[in-house]
Amino acid sequence: PDPDKAEFHLTAQQSTKEFLKGKETETLGYNGDYLGPVIKARKGEEVSVKVKNKLDEATTVHWHGLEVNGKQDGGPHSGIQSGESWNPKFTIDQPAATLWYHPHLLHKTGEQVYMGLAGLFYIEDEISESLDIPKEYGVNDIPLVIQDKQLFENGTYEYDLTMHDIMMGLQGNVVLVNGAIQPYLEVPKGKVRLRLLNGSNAKTYDFQLSDGESFQQIASDGGFLEKPVEMSGLTMSAAERAEIIVDFSDYETGDIVELSHQDYDLMKFVVTDQESKEYTIPEKLTDIPEIDTDTAVRTREFVMSGMGRSVSINGKQMDMDRVDEEVKLGDTEIWEVSNDGSGMMGGMPHPFHVHGVQFRIIDRGGDPPPPNERGWKDTVNVYPGEMVRLIATFDHSGLFMYHCHILEHEDSGMMGQYEVD
C-alpha cells in the first residue's frame, strides 16, 4: 500500500446496545457498533472513505472540523440514499487535531446522531508525533465521546421530542461515555491524555475532576494550543472538542478519581500500579500564527435569534435552494456572530459552527478570548446578548453550512449556507 494513501470503510447500519445490563435497545451506528471507529489520518495523506448506507433512510457523513471542499464535506446536499454508497476523497491539509464525523441530513441530523451515528476523526502530523505527550491509543491517549440520552426504565430510548426538547434541545437523564453509563478506566500512574468530544445533541458540560485537581488543556477543536493551559474546570458546548492532560503520578494505587459534570459523575479513573513513561509536557506545543485583522477584506454579521421552531440566523431559516453568503476563495473575513437573547427567560447559548474552515476567535463581547480559546476553533458557544468576532481564511471552495450545533435548533432551520468560489 502507498504510505501516503489511506482508505477507510464506514457502513451506517442498525445495531443493538445494552445501556442497562440485560436490556437491549435498538441503535444506529457505523460498522455494526453503537458510534463508529476512530479514523486516524495523517497530514498530507490522501484519504478515501467508502461510506455505505444500510439504513432504511437517507443519511450523509459530515467531517466536522475537516478543511475540505464542499463536495467532500458531507453536508445536507450529499445525501446517500438507502442502499447507496458515497466515496469522498480528500487530502489532509491541516494540523493535528481531534475532529469527528456525523450525519447531516436536513431535518434529520438530531435523530441520526442521537440514535448513535457519530465517530472521531484524528489527524496526526510531525508535531503531534514528536511532542513529549502521551500518545498510546487506549493506554494513555483516550477518546471520550460524551453524550446524554433519555433512557426509559427498560433501557431503551427513542428520538421522540417533547416541547421542552424542541425549545432547549434534547436533554437526557443519563450521560454516556463512549456509549457506556459511568464506566471506569484503569490508568497508569502518570500523565494521561483525554480527547474529549461533546457529542451530545444539545447539552453543555462543565467538566472537572471530583477531587478538584487541575489539569492542562493542550488542544481545542482544530488542534494544539500554543501552550498548555492550566484549568480546574472546562466548559464544552455541543460539538466542541478539547484534549486535556490529567496527571495521575501522585496518586496511590487503587485511588479513584471521577470525571464529573457539576454533581454528576461521568466516569471513574482507577489508578493502577502500571509504570508510565515520564512526560514533560512542553511549555510550547506549536506555533499558531495570528491572522491579522487588517488582512480581512470584509465583515459579515450573523444574528442568532428565536426559540423552538422559530429559531433563525439573520431572520432566515435554512433553505437548501438559497445561498446566503458568497465568499471569494482565498479571502480572509471577520464574522461577527451574535446571540440576540430572544426566547424564553432571556434566551439561551447557541454553539455556532462553521463548515469548511477552522477559525480564530478575535474577541468575546469585546474582550480577548480565554487562553483555551486562543487556538483553532470550528464551534463557539455564543451566550445570550453576546457578540463573538471570528476570523478565518476561506481556502476551500464549494457550498458550506454554518449553524447552531444544538441539533434540534439546526433541524428547525437555524442554519445557513455560504459558497466559496
Q: For CA atoms 319, 325, 328, 333, give the dihedral sign.
A: negative
Binder of ligand C2O out of 42, 241, 403, 409 (CB under 6 A): 403
Separation of alpha carbons 36 and 69, rounded Å: 23
Among 267, 285, 401, 406, binds ligand C2O (CB under 6 A): 401
**For residue 78, which of 68, 89, 67, 70 has the smallest C-alpha distance?**
70
- Helix, coil or strand: residue 160: coil
Quick one: which of 81, 87, 102 has its CA closest to 30?
Answer: 102
Rounded least distance, CB 208 to ligand C2O, Å:
25
353 sits near Cu ion (criterion: CB under 5 A): no
Site string for ligand C2O, 339-378 (x = CB under 6 A): --------------x-x-----------------------
- For residues 115 and 104, give the distance between their C-alpha atoms in angstroms, rounded to a whole number: 13
Of 20-28, 90-98, 166-174, 397-405: span binding ligand C2O (CB under 6 A): 397-405
**Shorter beta-carbon distance to Cu ion: residue 42 or 64:** 64
Site for ligand C2O (CB under 6 A): how many residues?
Answer: 10
* Antiparallel, parallel or unpaired: β 215-220 and 223-231: antiparallel
Task: Give which of ligand C2O, Cu ion, none residue 374 binds (C-beta under 5 to 8 Å, depending on kind).
Answer: none
Nearer to Cu ion, 133 or 387 (CB): 387
Task: Say whether residue 391 binds ligand C2O (CB under 6 A).
Answer: no
Task: Give which of ligand C2O, Cu ion, none residue 241 binds (C-beta under 5 to 8 Å, depending on kind).
Answer: none
Check: CB of residue 402 under 8 Å from CB of residue 385: no
* Ramachandran area for residue 95 (φ above 0: left; ψ -120 to 50: alpha; else beta): beta
Burial of 275 (0-12, 13-18, 19+ CB in 10 A): exposed
Shortest Å distance, C-beta 48 to ligand C2O = 21
- Minimum CB–partner distance for residue 418 and ligand C2O (Å): 12
Stretch binding ligand C2O (CB under 6 A), from 156-164, 222-230, 302-310, 398-406: 398-406
For the bound state, the minimum distance from the C-beta of residue 28 to ligand C2O, rounded and expressed in Å, comes to 16
Told to check if 142 binds Cu ion by CB under 5 A, we report no
Q: Does residue 61 interact with Cu ion by CB under 5 A? A: no
From CA 54, how far away is CA 37, in angstroms rounded?
A: 16
Q: Whole-angstrom Cα distance, residue 232 to residue 207? A: 9
Cα–Cα dist 406/82, whole Å: 26
Under 8 Å between Cβ of 404 and 359: no
Q: Which is nearer to ligand C2O, 306 or 351 (CB)?
A: 351
Q: Which does 389 bind (CB under 5 to 8 A by kind): ligand C2O, Cu ion, none?
A: none
Asked if 149 and 176 touch (Cβ cutoff 8 Å), the reply is: yes
Span 51-80, contacts to ligand C2O by CB under 6 A: 62, 64
Dist. CA 120–CA 40, nearest whole Å = 9
Structure-derived torsion over alpha carbons of residues 180, 182, 186, 187, reported in degrees to the nearest 10: 110
| Beta carbon nearer to Cu ion, 168 or 218 | 168
Residue 406 binding target from Cu ion, ligand C2O, none, CB below 5 to 8 Å by type:
Cu ion
Of residues 89, 86, 51, 83, the one with CA closest to residue 68: 89
Candidate segments 266-274, 312-320, 327-335, 399-407, binder of ligand C2O by CB under 6 A: 399-407
Q: For residues 396 and 409, which CB has a smaller minimum distance to Cu ion in the complex?
A: 409
- Could you say whether residue 80 binds Cu ion (CB under 5 A)? no
Residue from 238, 313, 406, 415 touching Cu ion (CB under 5 A): that is 406
Report the interface residues with Cu ion, using CB under 5 A: 350, 404, 406, 409
Report the interface residues with ligand C2O, using CB under 6 A: 62, 64, 102, 104, 239, 353, 355, 401, 403, 405
